[in-house]
């Protein structure tokens, strides 16, 4: 039996421990502060949100300004390459500058800033071409013809009473669909065109008119304007598509750049349609008709054609007279515009009365007849000439709108060929790969010519020519044509790089020489001349001795001996013949160029021009050659 006293003690101990344990685990209550007196609550204003950061709106990009800036950058790159002599690179940069404007999706004609940039590019590049820098596959060889209107504007002739009396008698019998007036102003220009100074100008114009008269009369008739407006072209340009005035007007109808664009005449790196006879004639007819509708008078329309409709409109509003002769007397028109209408009337009266003015025996040129071939690839005019056995000069005459030796790189072009040669061209060009039609050439084999001769002439190799033409034995037959594969500066299948002589030719630079002109004379790249002589840029100091390594073909017999030939100087800009040179007479064959002839006789293009005073060749011409 358990002891009840022990059990009570045990129970009491457990209870004590339990109480202690409960007290140690119980959280003590916090002391309670006495209640505060009631007070009005304090209102704390809400924290304001952080201020919004005003983000600047993205600047609006002016698409016109962006296109102009990009085009200008390409143009400046072209100028830099041009001045450094990198003509191919310059051509590419200029081409890209035009493309940026024309393919921007913006209306170039409708935006003054874009039009100004476009005109700047056109005129800037054309100005580069007015200097003698040129490249065979790029820059134009066109020679502008001074516009006759410039000279006529400068002359002053007295009124000859006898000439006026005769003209008045003739005028009564003269029929014209334009009003013809004879007064002192018109008589002065009849006197000028009757003089020894002006008569030749009139004769040449009337002779040349035969080439285009049929076309011009047809276009004027289609556009519904007077036929005798043809004499405006006679006075302006003498019917010369390459006529260029001092003010920059171009072509047979002397369009300024801005006016040409507004009537759809294209101007770019490749073509200037102001120089296309038919397209420019149609644009001129439309423009004259618009001016007549504006002023209601053909004399005022002609005056506005010369100085712009705004000038004539301002003169009419200033005086209140819509009459050309009244504006003339009041002196409110520019001097050239006051002369313009009398010049045209004088030319019209004289052309319609040839016997009266000693013009009855003139034989107008035959109308131009052509075959038209639509092409959509670029082709070198020299290759075209070789395809159809004609001259480059003839092709340039038929295609005066072409500014370069090649047709446009992009888009279609209507190539005009001599009559009866269209099919012949299509057949011959089919043998040349499309991508090589600005490089490869055709060569007609001359009597006694060897494969080595041909390879040397074109700075290529015998093996390349033999491979393309599938020549097995290397024998050539006179009059046969060879395809000449040329890829300047590149290697292609079967074509080796041009090699150069081991010993240099020493040449002393003369006044007016440039790196490009010397390179052209020697037939070597300008970059080579710079490398050989540690030159930069295009300028040469007169008297500087240049080391020039003539191009060889490497494998041809005699290359070693040719490399050893050296001379102290050669004909260049001053064009002195070498001592001991032998005189050779060469009859120009169809398709030959100054460069091909110069290469054949180991002379220079400049020397040929100097000794023969020619810039373009005609088949059958006989050249004097001072062969070393």
Which CATH number does the domain housing residue 383 bear? 3.10.350.10
Query: Would residue 31 count as lying in a domain?
Result: no
Segment 322-339 shows an average pLDDT of: 95
- Pair (350, 375) in one structural domain: no
Answer yes or no: is 524 within a domain.
yes
DSSP class of residue 272 equals B
Query: How many whole angstroms from its chain centre is CA 336?
Result: 29
CB neighbour list of residue 205: distance below 8 Å, 6 or more residues apart: 148, 234, 238, 239, 347
Maximum alpha-carbon separation in the chain: 180
Q: What are residue 400's phi and psi, to 5 degrees? A: -65, -15
- Are 302 and 173 part of one and the same domain? yes
**Predicted structure pTM score:** 0.60
In a domain, 230, yes or no: yes
Higher per-residue pLDDT: 32 or 401: 401
Q: Which residues are catalytic?
A: 236
Report pLDDT for 463: 86
Q: Are residues 117 and 69 in the same domain?
A: yes
Domain identity same for 171 and 270: yes
The domain tally of the chain equals: 5
Is 45 part of any domain?
no
- Cα dihedral 457/462/467/470 (nearest 10): 80
- Do 188 and 317 have their domain in common? yes
Cα separation of 509 and 420, whole Å? 47
Tens of pLDDT, residues 227-286: 999 999 999 999 999 998 888 889 999 998 889 989 999 887 789 999 999 999 999 999
Q: In the listed set 484, 512, 535, which residue is the last one of a domain according to the structure?
A: 484
Average pLDDT over residues 600-610: 73
Q: Which residue has the higher pLDDT, 530 or 315?
A: 315
Query: Considering the domain boundaries, does residue 366 fall inside one?
Result: no
pLDDT band (50, 70, 90) for residue 52: low
Strands 441-444 and 481-484: antiparallel
CATH code for the domain in which residue 321 is found: 1.10.530.10
Lowest mean pLDDT among 191-200, 323-332, 490-499, 600-609: 490-499
| Residue ending a domain, choose from 357, 381, 407 | 357
CATH of the domain at 134: 1.20.58
Specify whether 550 is located in the same domain as 593: no
Asked if residue 134 is part of any domain, the answer here is: yes
Q: Tell whether 319 and 195 lie within a shared domain.
A: yes
Q: What is the pLDDT of residue 58?
A: 59
Q: Do 353 and 389 belong together in one domain?
A: no
| pLDDT confidence bin for 3, thresholds 50/70/90 | very low
User: Averaged over 160-181, what is the pLDDT?
Assistant: 88
Instruction: Render 321-352 in DSSP notation, one character per residue.
Output: ---HHHHHHHT-S-HHHHHHHHHHHHHHHHHT
Which of 126-130, 205-209, 400-404 has the largest mean confidence? 205-209
Give the residue with greater pLDDT, 516 vs 313.
313
- State which of 455, 484, 513 marks the end of a domain: 484
206 and 347 assigned to the same domain: yes
Q: Does the CA dihedral 166-171-174-179 come out positive or negative?
A: positive
Place of tokens 């983000």: 55
Let me know whether 502 and 540 are in one domain: yes
Task: Indicate whether 157 belongs to any domain.
Answer: yes
Rounded to whole angstroms, the Cα distance separating 537 from 84 reads: 4
Same domain, 252 and 376: no
Q: Identify the domain containing residue 386 by its residue range.
A: 371-484
Neighbours of 169 (CB within 10 A): 11
Residue 7 reports pLDDT greater than 50: no
Number of alpha carbons in the 13 Å side-chain half-sphere of residue 227: 10
Predicted pLDDT at 127: 58
Model confidence pLDDT, tens digit, residues 491-543: 333 333 456 777 888 888 877 777 877 776 676 777 788 889 988 777 788 88
Are 582 and 443 found together in one domain?
no
pLDDT of residue 366 exceeding 70: yes
- 226 domain-assigned: yes
The dihedral through the CA atoms of 385, 390, 394, 398 has a sign that is negative
Indicate whether 141 pLDDT > 70: no
């Amino acid at each position: 039996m358990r002891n009840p006293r022990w059990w009570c003690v045990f129970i009491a101990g457990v209870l004590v421990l339990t109480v202690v344990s409960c007290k140690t685990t119980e959280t003590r209550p916090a002391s309670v502060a006495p209640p505060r007196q009631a007070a009005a609550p304090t209102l704390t204003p809400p924290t304001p949100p952080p201020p919004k950061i005003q983000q600047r709106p993205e600047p609006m990009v002016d698409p016109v300004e962006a296109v102009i800036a990009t085009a200008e950058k390409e143009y400046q790159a072209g100028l830099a390459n041009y001045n450094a002599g990198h003509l191919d690179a310059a051509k590419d940069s200029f081409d890209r500058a035009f493309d940026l404007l024309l393919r921007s999706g913006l209306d170039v004609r409708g935006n003054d800033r874009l039009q100004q940039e476009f005109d700047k590019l056109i005129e800037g590049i054309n100005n580069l071409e007015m200097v003698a820098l040129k490249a065979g596959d790029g820059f134009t060889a066109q020679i502008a013809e001074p516009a006759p209107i410039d000279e006529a504007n400068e002359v002053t002739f007295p009124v000859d009473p006898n000439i006026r009396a005769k003209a008045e008698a003739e005028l009564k019998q003269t029929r014209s669909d334009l009003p013809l007036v004879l007064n002192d102003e018109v008589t002065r220009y009849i006197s000028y065109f009757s003089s020894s100074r002006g008569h030749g100008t009139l004769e040449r114009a009337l002779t040349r008119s035969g080439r285009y008269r049929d076309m011009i009369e047809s276009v004027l008739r289609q556009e519904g304007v007077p036929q005798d407006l043809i004499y405006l072209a006679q006075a302006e340009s003498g019917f010369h598509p390459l006529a260029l005035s001092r003010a920059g007007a171009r072509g047979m109808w002397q369009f300024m750049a801005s006016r040409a664009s507004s009537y759809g005449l294209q101007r770019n790196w490749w073509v200037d349609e102001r120089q296309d006879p038919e397209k420019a004639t149609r644009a001129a007819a439309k423009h004259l008709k618009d001016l007549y509708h504006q002023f209601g008078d053909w004399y005022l329309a002609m005056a506005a054609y010369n100085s712009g409709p705004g000038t004539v409109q301002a003169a009419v509003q200033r005086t209140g007279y819509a009459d050309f002769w009244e504006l003339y007397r009041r002196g409110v028109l520019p001097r050239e515009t006051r002369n313009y209408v009398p010049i045209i009337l004088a030319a019209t009266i004289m052309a319609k009365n040839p016997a009266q003015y000693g013009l009855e025996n003139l034989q107008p040129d035959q109308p131009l007849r052509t075959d038209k071939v639509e092409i959509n690839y670029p082709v070198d005019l020299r290759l075209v000439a070789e395809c159809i056995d004609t001259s480059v000069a003839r092709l340039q005459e038929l295609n005066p709108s072409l500014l370069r030796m090649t047709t446009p790189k992009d888009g279609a072009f209507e190539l005009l060929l001599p009559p009866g040669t269209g099919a012949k061209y299509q057949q011959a060009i089919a043998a040349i790969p499309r991508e090589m039609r600005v490089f490869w050439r055709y060569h007609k084999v001359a009597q006694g010519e060897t494969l080595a001769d041909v390879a040397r002439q074109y700075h290529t190799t015998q093996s390349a020519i033999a491979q393309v033409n599938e020549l097995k034995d290397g024998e050539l037959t006179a009059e046969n044509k060879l395809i000449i594969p040329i890829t300047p500066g590149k290697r292609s299948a079967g074509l080796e790089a041009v090699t150069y002589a081991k010993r240099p030719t020493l040449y002393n630079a003369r006044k007016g020489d440039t790196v490009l002109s010397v390179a052209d004379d020697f037939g070597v790249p300008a970059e080579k001349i710079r490398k050989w002589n540690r030159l930069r840029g295009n300028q040469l100091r007169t008297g500087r001795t240049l080391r020039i390594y003539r191009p060889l073909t490497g494998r041809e017999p005699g290359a070693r001996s040719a490399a050893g030939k050296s001379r102290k100087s050669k004909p260049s800009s001053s064009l002195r013949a070498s001592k001991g040179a032998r005189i050779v007479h060469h009859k120009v064959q169809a398709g030959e160029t100054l460069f091909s002839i110069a290469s054949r006789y180991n002379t220079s293009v400049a020397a040929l021009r100097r000794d023969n005073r020619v810039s373009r060749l005609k088949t059958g011409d006989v050249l004097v050659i001072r062969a070393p």
